[in-house]
Amino acid sequence: MTITTTSRPSRSEVPEKQTWDLTDLFPSHAAWEEELVNIQVVVSNVTDYKGKLTSDSMTLLQALKALEIYQQRVIRVSVYASLRSNADGSDPNNQRDSSKVSSAMAQINAKLSFFQSELLTLSVETIKQFLKEQPELQTYQKMLVDLMEDKAHTLSPEIEETLAALSQLHNAPHMIYQRSNSADMNFSPIKNQDGVELPMSAALYEDRYEFSPDTETRRAAYDSFTSTLNQYKNTLAATYATEVTKQVTMSKLRNYESVTDMLLAPQQVTKEMYHNQLAVIQKELAPHMRRFAKLKKEKLGLEKMRYCDLKAPLDPEYNPKTTYEDATATIVEALKVMGPEYTDIVREGIANRWIDRSDNIGKANGAFCSSPYGVHPYILITWTDTMRGAFVLAHELGHAGHFYLAGKNQALVNTRPSTYFIEAPSTLNELLLAEHLMKNTDDIRMKRWVITQLLGTYYHNFVTHLLEAEYQRRVYDLAEQGIPLTANVLSREKKEALENFWGDSVALDAGAGLTWMRQQHYYMGLYPYTYSAGLTVSTAVAEKIKEEGQPAVESWLDVLRAGGTKKPLDLIKQAGVDMSKPDAIKIAVDYVGSLVDKLVKSYE
């Protein structure tokens, strides 16, 4: 660690080249403000169709086109405000703009709620007739078919309009969580083994200190992190409980069998597919990961393997650093197997500031990719000069490549596939990066390091996010039983989920139970488990690319170009993988076991 200051730069102090270029969305903030006003006026371009939407096929086509053009403008406005807020959530102006957008969206959504309600009055026969009369309606066929499947769970037009008008309140728990996390939480600075004081933030903990080879630094950062979480546990428990209560209530209002059924519906995933992911991985992966934890404890010379030690490097003296420039060059080389079109997209993103990599006050922790239609993707990451960061960036560039191709080849309505599939393109990039690094070294320590990075990817998706999913399953079960979701209850359930997986291979303290407060995915429905589904798919596809070469690559690129034109099961089958059975999950788990085997053998 070379940092010797406790201060992080403000957003205004960050070099421009480390930030994303938002002028591709709007040339100026004034232009954004003008468009925010405009979209609230030109909503009439869509609302003029109220009461006429289903009168004939031509009117329906014109209305759908008007809605799509309008949605594209709305997306740009909301993404711009969201990106600014994520770059610096502590800025009062960004907070104000986010509130403005939230308020405007609530009003717009209320005005547009008629659209779905009127479409739902169409019969399947009428839709078929309209599709025959207007070939251009084929673009909207999947949307119309999906809508028919939601018919049984749609309320009266008046109630739908009221619920839409309350969307700002419905989104409040997530907004409160984000605001608290980015603007209110202050973490005490820490000291490393040499007594040097280091700055501490949620982003620094998750992107740097959690992976520190210095046990003293790593554990001090964890203690600072969980100490701050503990101060906010009651507030954030109330916030999360409100979110869960909202979901449970909505599932009852909409006549779903359970909240799980409601949350899986938009993913177009069966409960069997969902439970397969949770059951197979928890049961069959646990022995492999316990063996990995045992190896790490032994090699690190730890008396006790604490929860905060799980991400420590196995070979602390070998932790390759890299510059951002070298890392991006390596990623481009690794992804050349995907062909020129794909690598050109990656190069363009790196060269043209699609990526925000600074660490500044108020910046959201973690990493994500936002893909406004008709512009280009934007990636948020906190770059910390570690090779692990190359894997995180490759992951987000996987999302970017996916949505760039989908956006280029599909209408807006058909760009986004089910969240069940979303993490496959991103995790495939990580596997390709690992394969490239392994091929280009004979150094046993480097090979071992790459294996640990791969295990880091599987840990992230098959352990961290999967155990978050198990925790969600427990929380929703409790909520449907009417059990109050207090901070103690939430922490207990989180700790139990961890204990069931790790057994006695890891010492779990009270702080481990607080880690439910780390993840904003809980405010996004049943999202965490989809990470494991995506990695299951990408594991199979990576193997196909190794065995079949170019045909497998072309097949995969066609899947990416298809966007959201198919349901996830059919989309994944197009890539040659069947997720209706647990076989692919077991194969992926076995692959993780083989990585642990290689690691153990490398020390013999």
Buried b (16+ CB within 10 A) or exposed e, 264-277: bbebbbeeebbebb
C-alpha–C-alpha distance, residues 267 and 575, integer Å: 18
Residue 147 has pLDDT above 90, yes or no: no
Q: How many CA atoms lie within 13 A of 515 on its CB side?
A: 22
| Enclosing domain of residue 95 | 11-170
Instruction: Provide the pLDDT for residue 4.
Output: 37
The angle at the Cα of 247, spanning 241 to 252, to the nearest 5 degrees, equals 125
Which strand (E) or helix (H) includes residue 395?
helix 387-409
Would residue 319 count as lying in a domain?
no
Stated pTM of the model: 0.84
Q: Count CB-CB contacts under 10 A for residue 370.
A: 20
Specify burial of residue 131 (Cβ count, 10 A radius: 0-12, 13-18, 19+): middle
C-alpha–C-alpha distance, residues 63 and 116, integer Å: 12
The angle at the Cα of 82, spanning 76 to 86, to the nearest 5 degrees, equals 145
H-only helix segments in 464-549: 465-480, 487-502, 510-513, 530-548
Would residue 160 count as lying in a domain?
yes
Would residue 96 count as lying in a domain?
yes
Residue 281 has pLDDT above 60, yes or no: yes
Buried b (16+ CB within 10 A) or exposed e, 391-409: bbbbbbbbbbbbbbbbbee
C-alpha–C-alpha distance, residues 595 and 577, integer Å: 22
C-alpha–C-alpha distance, residues 121 and 148, integer Å: 9
The pair of structure tokens assigned to 110 is: 């209320």
C-alpha–C-alpha distance, residues 510 and 337, integer Å: 45
Average pLDDT over residues 221-232: 94
3-class SS of residue 378: strand
C-alpha–C-alpha distance, residues 310 and 300, integer Å: 11
Instruction: Provide the pLDDT for residue 2.
Output: 35
**Residue 373 DSSP label:** T
Specify burial of residue 53 (Cβ count, 10 A radius: 0-12, 13-18, 19+): buried
Residue 3 has pLDDT above 50, yes or no: no
C-alpha–C-alpha distance, residues 29 and 181, integer Å: 25
First to last CA, the chain: 31
Residue 1 has pLDDT above 70, yes or no: no
C-alpha–C-alpha distance, residues 346 and 58, integer Å: 40
Decide if 423 contacts 530 (C-beta within 8 A).
yes
Sign of the four-CA dihedral 274, 280, 283, 288 = negative
DSSP string across 92-137: HHHHHHHHHHHHHHHHHHHHHHHHHHHHTTS-HHHHHHHHHH-GGG
- E strands, 355-459, in order: 355-356, 368-370, 378-380
Decide if 54 contacts 121 (C-beta within 8 A).
yes
Summarize pLDDT for 64-88 with one digit per residue, the tens: 999 999 999 999 999 999 999 999 9
Decide if 240 contacts 522 (C-beta within 8 A).
yes
What backbone torsions phi and psi does residue 358 show, to the nearest 5 degrees? -70, 165
Decide if 307 contacts 459 (C-beta within 8 A).
no
Q: Name which of 428, 462, 435 is nearest 450 in CA terms.
A: 435
Would residue 494 count as lying in a domain?
no
Would residue 112 count as lying in a domain?
yes
Buried b (16+ CB within 10 A) or exposed e, 568-597: bbebbeebebebeebebbeebbebbbebbe
Would residue 314 count as lying in a domain?
no
Summarize pLDDT for 433-492 with one digit per residue, the tens: 999 999 999 999 989 999 998 998 899 899 999 999 999 999 999 999 999 999 999 999
Residue with the two structure tokens 């700055």: 199
**Residue 69 belongs to domain with CATH number:** 1.20.140.70
Specify burial of residue 245 (Cβ count, 10 A radius: 0-12, 13-18, 19+): middle
The structural domain count of the chain equals: 1
Q: Name the average pLDDT for the chain.
A: 93
Q: Count CB-CB contacts under 10 A for residue 128.
A: 13
Would residue 566 count as lying in a domain?
no
Residue 429 has pLDDT above 70, yes or no: yes
Higher per-residue confidence, 301 vs 193:
301
Instruction: Provide the pLDDT for residue 477.
Output: 96
Summarize pLDDT for 308-354 with one digit per residue, the tens: 999 998 988 887 889 999 999 999 999 999 999 999 999 999 999 99
Would residue 550 count as lying in a domain?
no
Q: Count CB-CB contacts under 10 A for residue 31.
A: 13
What backbone torsions phi and psi does residue 369 show, to the nearest 5 degrees? -130, 125
Average pLDDT over residues 362-368: 90
C-alpha–C-alpha distance, residues 79 and 24, integer Å: 12
Summarize pLDDT for 233-277 with one digit per residue, the tens: 999 999 999 999 999 999 999 999 999 999 999 999 999 999 999
Instruction: Provide the pLDDT for residue 168.
Output: 85
Percent of the chain with pLDDT over 70: 99
Q: Which residues contact 58 (CB under 8 A, 6 or more apart)?
A: 133, 134
